[in-house]
Copies of this chain bind each other. A is one copy, B any other.
Amino acid sequence: MLSAVKACAVSRPVLGAASRLAAKHRTFAAFGQLSRFYHKPARSSVFKKLEKDDVRHFEKILPAETILATPAVGGSADPIELEGFNADWLNKYRGNSQLILRPKTTKEVSEILKYCNDQGIAVVPQGGNTGLVGGSVPVHDEVVLSLRNMNKIRSYDELSGILVCDAGCVLEELGNYVGERDHIMPLDLGAKGSCHIGGNVATNAGGIRFLRYGTLHGSVLGLEVVLPDGTILDNMSTLRKDNTGYDLKQLFIGSEGSLGVITGVSIATPRKPSSVNVAVLGVPSYENVQQAFKLARRRCGEILSAYEFWDANCMGAVLKHQELKNPLSSDFPFYVLIETSGSNKDHDDEKMGALLEELMEQGIVEDGALAQDDSQISRMWAMREGIPESLGKTGPTYKYDVSIPIPVLYDIVGDIAGRLESAKLYSPGETGNPVRLVCGYGHIGDGNLHLNVVAEKFEDRVTNIFEPYVYEWVSSHRGSISAEHGVGLMKRDYLGYSKSPEMISYMKRIKDLFDPKGILNPYKVV
């Protein structure tokens, strides 16, 4: 699903409101009952309805060009101008905010929040608005607090690789900046051309460098956060080690803008690898996918930077819908993409070569292709990244982004397929059934599976087979119902499948502690 972001977000055009609405219409026409998955809670009467006097107040404390208010609240902006802030980029979630504020400084953010908190006005913090769970758009009439005008690099230390910047910096631009200084950002994801580093941190984004560089809980060294009451929590450390009291910044990483607004980020950037190798392998079983992963970790060790897999059904869809050829000699039940990144090309070539040889000799993989140049590397990645789009072209797709312990990771795919077959809804290889395809792909190294069910249309008799069954299955294996996308509006009601009542109770207490009036990103997360 992450790759969906990558494949789509990078190339997505900036739609005008009209075409966005049209797109929305098409989506719903094609996808039928999609809305059943996104229960929209009623507006809470606790929150004040925005008045013209409120906008007058913001006009006093903010530069005019940073305010976008509709005539309904005394402004002069065409409501169409607010469309891009009110809806997410997939047009799944849609709010009705009449006021967009785009402050330029932390102090302005603080003044905005203080006023909203005093007045009981609900607020949605918004970064690049590339999320997939409805976390960054208003549900009703919340004020949108966009961080896009806070986009300065504050400092960069080339020796330590520590970057300090505003939360509104676009990930790709940061990547370019540190790239010119021989470093890379510790995370990379498809939405990098639009997403903000503040949003990445707020959602604890995963992405394709996770296997190598790990979680943002490790890479983020400091945060500047404005709390709902306007308090500026300055925890902008540039230190790798700091054991002075509770590590409060960790709470904001992955809190999806519901505890405070991240305005500044300090983050450690790794050195840029000088050599990259990519291979695609044909594998006879999921058991062998695991064996190959084990051997890859042993032989490539420190240079292994990605280990992705997908099944034959995914491959079939990709080869049908993308301008790509199978680099292997025949078809296989499973495919693996291995990437290495290192500091010495000769060494990396040798390690990768030895690994591939051993995998073939031991019969763990049956065929393999090693990219010979950057263009082949791109095509191999395009194969993996083309899966979500190709499935989308096959039909309306139910998507689950889950973490499951690796040994049983793929079991759920066969399990769901079996249930659908028993119910006479699916027959592998045959057409004309309510379900066209059940397939799985993902990041083996991270234990992150994307389970997809492609149907003729969304309908209850299909949905009922695997919902809530999938959540129960994941829960019974102590998995996570959201590996990397977060909770947002979409999964708030399902949190109990991954977290105990005690955990959720303490999450709510934490929310109350930082946001006692609940004005920040209401209706979401907990």
Interface on A for B, CB 8 Å cutoff?
157-161, 182, 203-204, 206, 210, 214-215, 217-219, 231-248, 250-251, 253-255, 259, 271, 273-274, 290, 293-294, 297-303, 341-344, 347, 350-351, 403-407, 445-448, 478-487, 491, 495, 498-500, 502-504, 506-507, 509-511, 513-514, 525-526
Q: Which of B246, B343, B487 contacts A351 (CB 8 A)?
A: B343
Q: List 5 A-B contacts (CB under 8 A).
A: A204-B247, A239-B447, A248-B506, A250-B250, A271-B301
Enumerate the 8 nearest inter-chain pairs by beta-carbon distance, A residue then B residue, closest first. A218-B218, A301-B343, A250-B250, A242-B480, A347-B347, A239-B403, A244-B498, A302-B302
The answer to whether B254 touches A251, judged by C-beta atoms less than 8 angstroms apart, is: no
| CB < 8 Å neighbour of A244 from B158, B407, B495 | B495
Judge whether B502 and A243 touch: CB under 8 Å: no
The docked-state distance in angstroms from the alpha carbon of A525 to that of B274 is 44
What separation, in Å, do the CA atoms of A507 and B233 have in the docked complex? 11
* Bound Cα distance from A415 to B341, whole angstroms: 42
| Option from B203, B300, B351 in Cβ contact (under 8 Å) with A243 | B203
- B298 and A182 within 8 A (CB): yes
Instruction: Tell me, in angstroms, the Cα distance from A260 to B349 when the chains sit together.
Output: 49
The answer to whether B217 and A247 have CB atoms under 8 Å apart is yes
> What residues of B have a CB within 8 angstroms of the CB of A480 in the complex?
237, 239, 241-244
| Most chain B CB neighbours (cut-off 10 Å) among A158, A240, A243 | A243
How far does the Cβ of A381 sit from chain B's closest Cβ, in whole Å?
20
Question: Do residues A244 and B499 form an inter-chain contact, with CB atoms below 8 A?
Answer: yes
Given contacts A160-B447, A240-B446, 13 further A-B pairs with CB under 8 A are A157-B407, A217-B218, A233-B500, A237-B478, A238-B405, A238-B478, A241-B446, A244-B481, A244-B487, A246-B254, A274-B301, A302-B302, A344-B350
* Known A-B contacts A157-B405, A238-B478, A294-B159; A243 and B204 likewise in contact (beta carbons under 8 Å): yes
Q: What distance in Å separates the Cβ of A301 from its nearest Cβ neighbour in chain B?
A: 3
User: Are B243 and A503 neighbours in the complex by a CB distance under 8 Å?
Assistant: no
CB contacts (< 8 Å) of A302 on chain B: these are 273, 302-303, 341-343
Contact in complex: A343, B405 (CB < 8 Å)? no
Task: Name A215's contact: one of B203, B218, B234 (CB within 8 Å).
Answer: B218
In the complex, how many angstroms separate the beta carbon of A407 from the nearest chain B beta carbon? 6
Query: For residue A243, which residues in chain B have a CB less than 8 angstroms away from its CB?
Result: 203-204, 206, 254, 480, 482-487
Is A300 touching B210 in the complex (CB atoms < 8 A)? no
- Max chain B C-beta neighbours (<10 A), residue from A234, A241, A245, A403: A245
Q: Contacts of A511 on B, CB cut-off 8 Å?
A: 246
- How far does the Cβ of A411 sit from chain B's closest Cβ, in whole Å? 14
A301 to B161, CA, bound (A): 13
Taking A243-B480, A343-B351, A351-B343 as contacts, is the C-beta distance between A507 and B447 under 8 angstroms?
Answer: no
Which one, B484, B506, B526, contacts A241 given CB within 8 A? B484
Q: Which of A232, A301, A403 has the most CB of B within 10 A?
A: A301
A487 partner residues in chain B, CB cutoff 8 A: 243-245
- Chain B nearest Cβ from A44, distance in angstroms: 20
The answer to whether A299 touches B343 (Cβ under 8 A) is yes
Shortest distance from the beta carbon of A212 to any chain B beta carbon, whole Å: 9
Contact status A503-B245, CB under 8 Å? yes
Residues of the B chain whose Cβ atoms lie less than 8 Å from the Cβ of A215: 218, 240-241
Closest to A231 in B: B502
Interfacial chain B residues near A238, Cβ < 8 Å: 405, 478
Query: In the bound complex, do residue B300 and residue A343 qualify as a contact, i.e. CB atoms below 8 Å apart?
Result: yes
Cβ contact within 8 Å between A526 and B245: yes
- Bound together, the chains give a CA A210 to CA B243 distance in angstroms of 14
- Find out whether the CB atom of B403 lies under 8 angstroms from the CB atom of A241: yes
Q: Smallest CB–CB gap between A310 and chain B, Å?
A: 18
| CA gap between A514 and B347 in the complex, in Å | 51
Closest chain B CB from A53 CB (angstroms): 30
- Distance, CA A290 to CA B298, complexed state (A): 32
How far is it, in angstroms, between the C-alpha of A447 and the C-alpha of B241 when the chains are bound? Answer: 7
Which residues of chain B are within 8 angstroms of A350 by Cβ–Cβ distance? Answer: 344, 347
Contact among B182, B255, B299, B341 with A246 in the assembled complex (CB-CB below 8 Å): B255
A292 to B290, CA, bound (A): 40
Give CA–CA (A502, B248) in the complex, Å: 11
Chain B hits for A303, CB < 8 A? 302
Of the candidates A232, A241, A342, A478, the one having the most CB atoms from chain B within 10 angstroms of its own CB is A241
B contact residues around A245 at 8 Å (CB): 487, 495, 498-499, 503-504, 507, 525-526
CB distance from A384 to the nearest CB of B (A): 17
Tell me the minimal C-beta distance from A143 to chain B in angstroms: 23
**CB neighbours of A231 from chain B (8 A):** 502
Alpha-carbon separation in the docked complex, A294 to B247 (Å): 29
Q: Closest approach, in angstroms, between the C-beta of A165 and any C-beta of chain B?
A: 16
Q: Which residues in B have their C-beta under 8 angstroms from that of A217?
A: 217-218, 247, 250
Which of B159, B214, B236, B290 contacts A293, CB < 8 Å? B159
Contact (Cβ within 8 A) B240 A447: yes
